[in-house]
Structure 1
């Protein structure tokens, strides 16, 4: 698990360095006005892609589990743990304990 986390952190750091380098290169070569326009187009395209992916994921039918969890059946009485002892069934009278 640590190895996977390390690779994830390294990948994010590499992506951040690459993005910063691209921004610096774009601003240095094209100027601020062109860099602003390019960034706006990239942002709009990313918004359309991620918005469409979000709508597609939200419209998919949710999968229901095959079994129901935490379902009670039959007649039963549940008593809590008292004094560190778990009581199953009817509690005995205080003299019988």
Structure 2
């Protein structure tokens, strides 16, 4: 299940930096969640961090993107592998951290 941000969002800016997958971004009017990046924090935390910190409770499960915990875990693994591959740079190049 990916999460979504409803139009009750007050643009308080607290959710975006809490997302370990960089799935939250500013949309045309309110923050939005990219369902292809949202793992509900599976692989990072026990609870979705955006839900925990949201002061107006406007982040429910997105009914258009219902996923099992196993599917979320697989998505986490794909995202992590892609991120690590992107940071590795060209073959033979040293990684700068």
Using structure 2 for the length normalisation, give the TM-score: 0.33
Query: Which structure exhibits the higher relative contact order, with contacts defined as CA atoms closer than 8 Å and separated by 6 or more residues?
Result: 2
Using structure 1 for the length normalisation, give the TM-score: 0.33
Higher-strand-fraction structure? 2
Higher-helix-fraction structure? 1
